[in-house]
Amino acid sequence: MLTTSLPRLRGLAATACAALVLSACGGVVDDEGDDNDAAADLPDAELVAPVAGMTCDEGATPTGEPIVVGGSLSLTGPLAPTATLHNAVAGLVTDWVNDCGGLDGRPLEWRVLDDQSTPGTVTSNYERLIGDGVDFVMGPYGGAATLAGAGPVSRAGYAYPTATNGAPDKLIGENHFPAWQIGGGVDDPARMFDAQADAVVAALESSGNPPSTAFFATAKFPTTLSYRGAVVEALEEAGTEITGDLEYDLGTTDFSSIALRIQTADPDLVYVGGLGADITNLYQAFDGIGYEPRSIYVALPAPPAVADLGDKAEGMMISSIYEHHEPLGGSPVAQYFAKSYSEVAEEEGVFPLVETQAAAGLAAWQILLTGILEAGADNAAVIEWLNANEVETVVGTLNFDGYNNYGADINRVAQVQDGTRVLVWPEDVSGAEIDYNP
Amino acid sequence: MSVSSLALAQTLLNGALLGCLFGSIALGLSVKWGHLGVADFFHLSLTLLGAYLTYSLVTEQLWDPLLTLLVTVPVFFVVGVAVQWLFLVLRAEPFTTLLITFALFIVTESVASMVWSPDLLNLRPRLSDGFTTSLRFPEPLPQLAVQPVDLLALVCAVLMVGVSAWALRRTRAGRAVQAMRQDADIARTLGVRVVPITLAVSGLAASSAAVAGMVVSLRMPLSPTLPLQWIGIVVVATMLGGLGRPLGALVAAVVLMMIQNAWSLWFPPQWAPAVTFGVLFLFLAAQPVRRFVSEATASRRLA
Amino acid sequence: MTPFRDLSLWRQFGAVVLCALLAMALVPSFGSDFVIAFGFQFVTWIGLALSWSLFSGNSGYASFGHGVFFGIGVYATAAVLRHTDAPFAVALVVAGLVAAALALVVGIAVFSSPRFAGDLFGMITLAMAFIVVAVVSNLAFLDGGTGVFVRELAADTWIGESTGHQFVVGTAIAAATAGVAIATSTTRWGAALRSIRDDEAVAESLGVPTYRYKVLTFAASAGLAGLAGAPQAVFLGYVEVGAVFTLNIPLLVIMMTILGGITRWWGPLIGAASVVLVREALLDIGSPELSQIILGLALVVVIALMPHGISGAIPRRRPTATGTTTGTTTATTATTGGAR
């Protein structure tokens, strides 16, 4: 094959080189209006107390023994991009509380240990933090890490708030307070992902044009596989024909075969159970064969990966619990968070706009802070109070009544419309109607 | 051509072109491992650094990606020379060099994370359409498409690997390198200046990482842990091609990626890595490679 | 050579057993929860480094597959606990046997042909890693991709009761590995392996049954790594492919062993201990990236100052006592440096 097509390839190569050289001066688009500047449109925001029931005493210096919150985060290694974001949120919240005069007048302190993306180190990190006498802990990022930390944290009787724990069908205990309530409103422990699947199907049906065919491509990763299983069932029940369902290895870079299979099936809906940069690589493969999917749903894409797609991401649907707009984004807390997060994130070099991860990070802190404010700096009291009450957070009102402490169903669907991400389902939090007509 | 055979041709083509990129990364590894006895994992880090430098020069200085080579290639040459000089000063044994290159591998990952953040960086949206619009094949195969970046990968791979293979076989310096591999002491008595040649080879290998890094930055989103995704294919291609044989490594990388893509077209893609490396085992068991390998072992035995 | 009448051999055995017993008695009863959890990881890394060195350090065949054998131990344990009512002891034995069996099969195939000598062996073990990962992540019996919850499976067993019990098992495995390492350092078995590292052709011509030695030692090394994986499964509580089979494990193990040095049996022990301790000490210096950079640069400096590793830099007290084996080892490693 190589020998027969060599002359032709040589011709192509020559043209390509010529094209590249000709475009030498214009090879790069000076795109100043890129994602970095998206955050500049955010309005200035007033300093307000981060949680309900707390008064912000601006200018007052907190005094006395600090309340130390410890956590383990994967600041290096493969999980670092998202864990760095959660570390930025933790630092921001600490400064925020202290700018407001502290927690009951006491300063808040954040202590983080890097677990290098290794679950075994998560366990010893929490043992170390608890042994060093931190007052409270904050959960790590990632399902495996969360469960590795649950052992020591539960044994020591600490409250265990988590931001985006993706391994929900196993009980951590009454001390587990998840911000992203993946299993919210579901009674059967075996069907913890149904809430998420129902949100997807309801969102699609609200358009009036639900897909008649769907093609699934899912990364070999616990959370995405569990999602996929529930969504396949829910869509089939809703009358959608599944024309393809395949899995790919985590870390796949060449999606050309998968793109070709999708092109051959040409479904109404492409469901990508992908995370990180999968979507970037998949679209590169689509570009290569000149195919444009009729509609696409992505489970857990990295925010910069979606932003970098530009116009191609228009209409893309994404699993979400928060996008920054009314009504959720209208509160003074959300406004202040969005503004200060964009500044902190830029310093850390992570994506500057608040979406699911950053919002869940803040919500986890709001859960903990509310518990401390209401019940005092004592873990047992905080656990008892949180189990009996509701908490106002940036992602909505949360309670911890159900199995594994999942209470409210806050699974939502976002869509990229006119270049921005907006929630399109359910109606009480949506900022726009779904635009779906495959 | 029917639809499915067209699809096969397309995916094989894509696999081959991505294989070219991995082949260009394997080039430096193969030469250093085979001829200098350094299993250089730091070479993968250099490739990543090259990609990040390209990214910065393009996004901040608005340079053309190809022009960045004017800076990165000489800088990396110096780095390659410096690392090899360190090994010479230490009189490092193979195990020692392995440890040092691992250590530098860890250091680079952290430096990249510090300087460029652990988040994904993607150069693609900043590129003009000339880089991103796929090109159609001329008649009679207008259905087949190819991306300009992939063509660039092909050109870079063919140029670099071709020149290295030619230089090793045909030039005086290249033959000196071969002689050093056989026996450094005899080479020295025959008038080969071992130290300068060793340093130069290491510098050139590092320069090739700058070129490969440029292609990487155009081809895929960057993150500090990216080299861990290449290790499998690059190391296996290097060894399968025969250490010190850049052309062998390139062919091996191309073939491995083509197998992977062909499998993924019809069968469950999640089994692709197992199949690719399983085929490798079968291939190794087969006779054709025997000559390759026995040559390699024979030459090492002579040492 | 009469190793079993060698006093120093027994003295070293005794020291290892004593240290292990002391650790097993003292750490779980007096150590804080952190000390126990950290201690468990500490002994696990020591076991891994010692078992890698057992084959790769002695024979010179660098294996990238050690993380796979360890991971197979983890998953075999999870599978036994999930699908049967067997006690942990059975899972432990299965973990070791499965890992050893895989190595045995690979070893029998790979070592049968001289064409896989040296570097190609490294490639085979790396390729094997990718195949095993694909198999584990695609077979629902083992994992299937969604991970396996071990904590609840082991909750009512002795091992699952406390981290202290996991520490005791981990320490026993590390001590057993050290015992095997000591045995290799002084017996004919070890000497034969090192003769392979020095020059396999010469060893063969001298009548050393290199094939049998390589296959069996590779299997033993893998089996010990598999054993180390068994308590790890319980310790983690939840195992998933991405975290268990990360390439960092074989790379770190190789690094620890080379740092410690392969010319003495306890080199890998020192190497693993130093890396784990330094890593922990650097954890809260404020910048995670900086601590990784410091660790990396420290490795470069140490190996620059001590090219034969930490253990190689410490002078031998009695150079002639076991001179037939250890003496030749140092001499030959010094000369083989440039030959590869």
Q: Which of B105, B109, B290 sits opposite C115 (nearest CB)?
A: B290
User: Which of the four pLDDT bands, split at 50, 70 and 90, describes residue C5?
Assistant: low
- Which option is the CATH number for A67-189+325-411: 3.40.50.2300, 3.30.360.10, 1.10.3720.10, 3.30.9.80? 3.40.50.2300
pLDDT in tens, A146-179: 888 988 999 899 999 999 876 656 667 889 999 9
For chain C, which chains pass the contact test of at least 3 CB pairs under 8 Å? A, B
For residue B117, what is the domain's CATH number?
A: 1.10.3470
Q: How far apart are CA A434 and CA B113, in angstroms?
A: 38
User: Which of the four pLDDT bands, split at 50, 70 and 90, describes residue B179?
Assistant: confident
Is C145's CB within 8 Å of A75's CB?
no
Question: How many Cβ pairs within 8 Å bridge chains B and C?
Answer: 133
Q: Does C299 touch chain B (CB under 8 A)?
A: yes
Q: What is the pLDDT of residue A341?
A: 94
User: Which of the four pLDDT bands, split at 50, 70 and 90, describes residue C317?
Assistant: low
pLDDT in tens, B61-119: 888 899 999 999 999 999 999 999 999 888 887 778 888 898 999 899 999 999 998 88
The interface pTM score, or ipTM, of the predicted complex is 0.84
User: Which of the four pLDDT bands, split at 50, 70 and 90, describes residue B296?
Assistant: low
Q: Does B294 touch chain C (CB under 8 A)?
A: yes
Q: What is the pLDDT of residue A2?
A: 37
The more confident residue out of C1 and C310 is C310
**Is B139 inside any structural domain?**
no
**Is B256 inside any structural domain?**
yes
Cβ under 8 Å to C: B residues 190-229: 228
Structure-token match 């975290």, residue found: C243
Give the gap in angstroms from C-alpha A131 to the nearest C-alpha of chain C. Answer: 6
On the question of a common fold for A67-189+325-411 and A191-324+414-425, the answer reads yes
Q: Are B261 and B11 in contact (CB under 8 A)?
A: yes
**Which residues, at least 6 apart from C206, have a Cβ–Cβ distance to it below 8 Å?**
C195
Contacts with B225 from chain A: Cβ below 8 Å = 77-78, 80
Interface probe, candidates A82, A121, A124, A182, chain C, greatest C C-beta count within 10 A: A124
Is C145's CB within 8 Å of A76's CB?
no
Cβ under 8 Å to B: C residues 125-144: 126-131, 133-135, 137-138
Q: How far apart are CA A9 and CA B214, in angstroms?
A: 22
Cβ under 8 Å to C: B residues 66-95: 86, 90-95
Q: Which of A116, A123, A225 sits opposite C145 (nearest CB)?
A: A225
Q: Determine the Cα angle at A311 with ends A305 and A313, to 5°.
A: 45
pLDDT in tens, B220-243: 999 999 998 888 889 889 888 888
What number is the average pLDDT over the span A92-113? 94
Q: Are B148 and A15 in contact (CB under 8 A)?
A: no
User: Which of the four pLDDT bands, split at 50, 70 and 90, describes residue C96?
Assistant: very high
Work out the mean pLDDT of chain A and round it to a whole number.
86
Give the gap in angstroms from C-alpha C137 to the nearest C-alpha of chain A. Answer: 7
What number is the average pLDDT over the span C211-230? 94
Residue C98: both structure tokens together: 């499965």
For chain B, which chains pass the contact test of at least 3 CB pairs under 8 Å? A, C
Q: What is the pLDDT of residue A360?
A: 94
- Number of structural domains in chain B: 1
Q: Does C258 touch chain B (CB under 8 A)?
A: yes
Give the gap in angstroms from C-alpha C124 to the nearest C-alpha of chain B. Answer: 8
Q: What is the pLDDT of residue C48?
A: 96
User: Per-domain residue ranges for chain A?
Assistant: 67-189+325-411, 191-324+414-425
pLDDT in tens, C251-268: 889 989 989 988 888 999
Q: What is the pLDDT of residue A162?
A: 92
Is A27's CB within 8 Å of B64's CB?
yes
Residue A252, pLDDT above cutoff 70: yes
Q: Does domain A191-324+414-425 have CATH number 3.40.50.2300?
A: yes
**Is B142 inside any structural domain?**
no
Read off the pTM: 0.87
Q: What is the pLDDT of residue B163?
A: 93
Is A260's CB within 8 Å of B18's CB?
no
What number is the average pLDDT over the span A277-292? 89
Q: Reduced to 3 states, what is the DSSP secondary structure of residue A244?
A: strand
Print the domain residue range for B281. Answer: 3-133+147-302
Q: Are B99 and C259 in contact (CB under 8 A)?
A: yes
Q: What is the pLDDT of residue A10?
A: 46
**Which residues, at least 6 apart from B172, have a Cβ–Cβ distance to it below 8 Å?**
none
Q: Does B151 touch chain A (CB under 8 A)?
A: yes
Contacts with C246 from chain A: Cβ below 8 Å = 117-118
Interface probe, candidates A75, A110, A123, A165, chain C, greatest C C-beta count within 10 A: A123
Work out the mean pLDDT of chain B and round it to a whole number.
86
**Is B163 inside any structural domain?**
yes
Contacts with A225 from chain C: Cβ below 8 Å = 144-146
